[in-house]
Homo-oligomer: A and B are copies of this chain.
């Protein structure tokens, strides 16, 4: 399940709802990863653009990849502004055993960082500034400029 929220995430509500939703599924391990906006470099917060169609297919491909391991994924992300010390991202895995859950959460979060079509902006003095130096080109980027 993938959910997008306007503004900061209600972390207790989401973690509790996901836990309850799988309470009868006989999973032995539940690992959420919660990402929170840090107060650094004087920013007031971050702001996010999300391109939902490709995010959805990326998420669905991940769900299909981990299904044979008996695992289930959930993810929530913010759209728009999220202030410092508020949370913008939760990824979670449920699985029967701990090893699959520990390995999956790491790979899922790292691939999210490298591939998910989400753009981050610093909020400073009311301005929204693309965090280009902290952004990662998606695998295969540069196609249009190539001499292929």
Contact = CB atoms under 8 A, between A and B. Distances in A.
Interface stretch (A9-17, A56-64, A116-124, A140-148): A9-17
Number of copies: 2
Interface residues of A, number: 33
A40 B12 CA distance: 30
Interface of A is mostly: mixed
Contacts of A110: 102
Interface of A: 11-12, 15-16, 19-20, 23-24, 26-40, 85, 96, 98, 101-102, 105-106, 109-110, 113
Contacts of A85: 23-24, 26
Contacts of A24: 85
A69 to B, nearest CB: 15
A51 to B, nearest CB: 22
Given A16-B12, A105-B102, A34 B23 contact: no
A133 to B, nearest CB: 16
7 contacts: A12-B12, A12-B16, A26-B38, A28-B35, A28-B36, A29-B35, A31-B31
Given A11-B16, A19-B34, A27-B36, 9 more contacts: A15-B16, A15-B19, A28-B35, A29-B36, A30-B33, A31-B32, A31-B33, A33-B101, A98-B113
